[in-house]
Each structure stands twice: as structure tokens, then as C-alpha cells.
Amino acid sequence: MASEQPNETPTNPAIPAPSAEAGPCDEAAAPSKKGAKKAEAKAKKEAEKARKAAEREAAAAATAAVAAEDHAKDNYGEITKDKKIEAETMHLRDLGEEYIGKSIKLRAWIQNSRMQGAKMAFVELREEGSWTVQGVVAASPEGKPVSRQMVKWIGGLNLESFVAVEATVQKPLEPVKSCKVSGYELHLTKVYLVAPAPEMLGLGLAAASRAVGKLDDEEVGEGLEAKLEGVSITETTPAASLATHLNNPAMHKRAPVSQAIADIRIAVEDLFCEYLKERRFKKFHPPSLIAAASEGGANVFRLPYFEKECFLAQSPQFYKQFEIAGGRKRVYCVGPVFRAENSNTPRHMTEFIGLDLEMEIEEHYHEVMHMLEGVLLHIFKGLATNCREEIDLVRTVYPSEEFLLPEGGKEIRLTFAEGQALLRAEGPSEYANVRDDEDMSTAQEKALGALIRKKYNTDFYVLDKFPTDARPFYAMPDPENPEVTNAYDFFMRGQEILSGGQRLHLSHELEKTIRSKGLDPNQPGLKEYCEVLKSVGCPPHGGGGIGLDRVVAWYLNLPSVQLVADYPRTPKRLSP
């Protein structure tokens, strides 16, 4: 029999209905004190224990009395060894016509519940991200699996508790619009509580499923307010701040939008690796612990290491080059890099995942640029096809325009000087005098991104030939013009996501450039680096490093990279 009262609020299944919420959960009692206090506390505890035991006994007796009259008493309650469900386990994604009338087992979270009088309850069950289904439980006379007591107990379970249920699959009278699985409902015959949620959640699923309300960064990023304006926040569920989201990781992650972002992030990494593996790139793992601050010493974390000192790698740069010197023609790596930069912006983190590659150059460094463009286009196209559903779900929460790719698959490349010229000619008046030999600011980059979008109809482009002063000592100078380098940045929606270029592969030239930058090739870190390149004949090579979280954030036009990283780390956040 189909239920007569399907949950009828016609909402977006991606955003659960509002639910009760409160501040962070209460903390456990303070630990016991020393000495005399300890003894006292112990005595008190014993007394309390005895009192509680008595209470429990009384309660148990009362429950037993009630249970005696409860014909369904074995079909619900906290799970124990004896409470078993024999039916086959089913996953909501697999639910189809062949299950109608059959008894199945499901393990899921209680997303919502609603009593309908004293004899009936509707329970929204969620499994694996955003898969939800309506559960119905209705009390019947003796001999049937459900009692009034059972309905009441189920209706009283805290939201986000985890349960194991036995149910019969039925067709509802009307599609259940509030659930992703709208064509079936589950008539519950057993419900066992596997793990209870607290009465008050630090962050409810409804708020977790909405756009963050406040970023709490020093620099919130241009256009964030505009970005968040279009977002649908119901009146009953106020938006939670980014901090509240991140302080409640389990609930933040349970939101379908978070799961979709996490799935897109995995897809980006997989697409990156897939493309490179097909082109004979070999993976390796650079170390995080290194003996010297490799790239000048600024913004690097340092720590005691037995009798010595050590540093956290800011990039795998040197090690990628060692791999090339070591005879691997093409390498890539995926792993954390660390920046001790006190930047509180929506695009900075102190630890983030870098997608890096390095390869031999045969004739020209544009071979590398072409490879990097290729892998990024592969990622963008892969996302648009493989992650359509996830992207659409994210857009219901964080609206964004489709990410524009250059037409006909051809790349948009400008030299740095051409970019500056465009800014001077067509950009805001404050950029009328930008110079070709000075690096761009973030604001300049964004302004240029807008100009390029207008002119070339793309959100993805490359700036090549960066000025020498804007690049590190290992950048290869342009042989035609020593003022610029064979180095480039890649941009998405006017924001940098990749830095790379050709490297100096001849150690005498490298040492010369190190000196010209006012550094000493014999200083710790640089010395070992130069020695490796000097120790063998190292072929010409180049590469680039991609910030994984930035690619995802700017592709989806999210307000912060902290919504992408699994556990973002910033100057202010180390936990959880």
C-alpha cells in the first residue's frame, strides 16, 4: 500500500528542508582534580553512579512494562547483537522496479522526520551523498511489524542519526518531490539505531547545504558580495559563516553541495593523472622535509629536526628537476606544498595540493606550454561531461556562468607585454601606466581577465614571457631578449592557477643567474641544487605547477578555495 501523505513540500532535492539548529555541542565534564579533591570526587562519583544505576533499573522496569504490551518491541531500538536484519542490503542508487514489493535492508541517515498523528511518521533517509528516499512507518494491530510505540520512537530520533532499516519497497501515490528517489518509498518494518546524533547539531544540514554567509577573510575578493547575492537562502534557515561550516566538518561535508565539490575535485586530479600517464609521464613523490629554504627563504615553515633544522617544501621544483636529471623524461606529482605566508584571502592557504609536471624539451619550451594547455583543456572538458550533475548541483547553491573555453580548441596566448598593453589601452584608468618589466597585481590580473573575456570569449588563457624580475632564479631567459623569460602563468576567470616555464639546465648558467639575483650559489639549499645539475648532463626541460583547489574554485566560481580543500589550512585555521 502506498502512503497517503507523501511529504509534499516541493523543494530542490539538493537542499534539505530547514531543521532545528543550535551552537556547537556541549563539552564533556571537566577532568577530575588531584589529591584530596580526587578522593572527594571519587566518592561523589560512586554515589552518583549508584543513584544512576537505581534510576536505570526503574526505567528499565517501566520500559519492560511498556514493552510487554508492545508487539513490535523487537523491531526497533538501539542495535544489539540480537537485533538483526536478514534482508539483502540495497543502495538507493540501485533502486528500481524489480524491488517493488520486496523486503530490503538499508543503512542511512535520518535527514528529516515528521509525525502524522500518533500512528504514522514520515522519515527522510539519506545514503551516499545526496541519495534520499521517503520512509513511511504506520502502526498496525498486533501481529503486524509496527506498533504505536515504535512510531513514536522513530519520530523522536535525532536528525543525522545513523540507522539500519528493514523495509518493503512501494510506489508512492504521487512522486516524492522532496527526495532524489521520488518514484519509490520505503515502508519500514524494522528500524535500529546504529549511531545517535546529538539533540542539537552545531550546523544543521539545511544551513550546511546553503552558500556560506560570511568568509571572514581580510580580503574577501572582488565581487564576492555580488556572487553571494543571487544565492537562495530561505528565511527560516539563515546562512552559516564559513567558520561555522569548517568548525563542523562532519555536517559541512554531509551537505550534497560539499560532496559534489569534493567529487569534482577528485575528478580534476584523476583527469590530470590520466592525461599525463597516457603521454608516458611517470609519477614520483617529492619530499616535504627539506634541508634548506630552497627559494630564497621567505614564507617558509621551519622546524627542529633532531640536532638540525629543517624546512617544509614550498614546491617540488628542485625535485622535479632532479628527476629529469635522473633520466626520467617526463614526471608528475600530486602532493601537499607549504607556504608560511600570512595572507588571509579567499585564494591563499598555508598547505595545498599541487599538481606538478616537468618534462624534457626537444626543440622549444612551448612544447611544455602546449602540454599544460592540453592537460587543463582535458580537465575542463572532462568535468563538463563526467561531472555535469555535480556542477549543476553546485550551481543551485553557488550560481555561476558556464566556464568559457577558447573556441575551436585553439589556445589564447598573450605575452606579458601584450597583456600590459591591453590593460593600458582598454583597462581601467589606474592601469594607464602599467610597465612591461613589473609584475601584475591580483587586481590587474582580474581586470585583464575581464578584457580578455570580452575580446576572446574565453575564461582560460596564458600569459607568456614574464619579465625577468618577476621570476625566480631558475627561469630560463628568453635567448632573444634577456629582459624576459621563457616563463608563463595560466589564468582562469582572471585568476592565476599555474606558474611555469623553462628552467636553466646548464649549471654554469644557473649559477650566473643566481648571482645576478643577489643570491649565493653556495648557500645551503642552492648548493645542493646546483650540485645535482652539475653532476651529470641534464637535458633542457620545463614544467609547471597547478593549484588543485584553485582550479576547482575558479571553475565553479566559488567564493573561496577553503570551500574546496578537504581540510583547509590558513594562518588562522589549523583545526579540525
Indicate which residues carry an active-site annotation.
Answer: 339, 341, 347-348, 496, 499, 550
Q: Which of 233, 239, 384, 506 binds a second copy (CB under 8 A)?
A: 506
Q: Are 409 and 440 in contact (CB under 8 A)?
A: no
Number of residues this chain uses to bind a second copy (CB under 8 A): 105
Q: Are 502 and 541 in contact (CB under 8 A)?
A: yes
Q: Which of 342, 441, 457, 481 binds a second copy (CB under 8 A)?
A: 342
Q: Is 350 in the site for a second copy (CB under 8 A)?
A: yes
Which range binds a second copy by CB under 8 A, 172-180, 248-256, 390-398, 411-419? 248-256
* CB nearer to a second copy: pick between 79 and 470: 79
Q: Are 477 and 484 in contact (CB under 8 A)?
A: yes
Min. distance of Cβ 530 from a second copy in angstroms? 7
Q: Is 102 in the site for a second copy (CB under 8 A)?
A: no
Q: Is 454 in the site for a second copy (CB under 8 A)?
A: no
Q: Is 322 in the site for a second copy (CB under 8 A)?
A: yes
Residues in the chain: 576
Round to whole Å and give the CA distance between 101 and 80. Answer: 27
Rounded to 5, what percent of the chain is helix, strand, coil? 35, 20, 45
Listing DSSP states for 288-352 in one string gives SEESS-TTSSTT--EEEETTEEEEE-S-SHHHHHHHHHTT-SEEEEEEEEE------STT--SEE
Q: Which of 33, 283, 370, 435 binds a second copy (CB under 8 A)?
A: 283
Q: Is 25 in the site for a second copy (CB under 8 A)?
A: yes
Q: Which of 31, 35, 141, 409 binds a second copy (CB under 8 A)?
A: 31
Residue list 105-144, contact with a second copy (CB under 8 A): 107, 109, 126, 128-129
Bond from prior residue into 576 cis (ω within 30 degrees of 0): yes
Q: Is 253 in the site for a second copy (CB under 8 A)?
A: yes
How far apart, in Å, are the Cα atoms of 72 and each of 75, 80, 317, 357, 442? 5, 16, 66, 62, 65
- 299 sits in the region (left: phi over 0; alpha: psi -120 to 50; else beta) called left
Round to whole Å and give the CA distance between 395 and 561. Answer: 16
Q: Is 347 in the site for a second copy (CB under 8 A)?
A: no
Q: Is 16 in the site for a second copy (CB under 8 A)?
A: no
Round to whole Å and give the CA distance between 322 and 37. Answer: 62
* CB nearer to a second copy: pick between 117 and 198: 198
Q: Is 74 in the site for a second copy (CB under 8 A)?
A: no
* CB nearer to a second copy: pick between 197 and 451: 197
* CB nearer to a second copy: pick between 354 and 449: 354
Q: Is 338 in the site for a second copy (CB under 8 A)?
A: yes
Q: Is 367 in the site for a second copy (CB under 8 A)?
A: no
Q: Which of 505, 543, 559, 562 binds a second copy (CB under 8 A)?
A: 505
* CB nearer to a second copy: pick between 136 and 564: 564
Listing DSSP states for 32-71 in one string gives P-SHHHHHHHHHHHHHHHHHHHHHHHHHHHHHHHHHHT-T
What the block records as the C-alpha cell of 130 is: 545526496
Q: Is 366 in the site for a second copy (CB under 8 A)?
A: no
Helix (H) or strand (E) holding 392, with range, is helix 388-397
Q: Is 226 in the site for a second copy (CB under 8 A)?
A: no
Residue list 159-188, contact with a second copy (CB under 8 A): 160-162
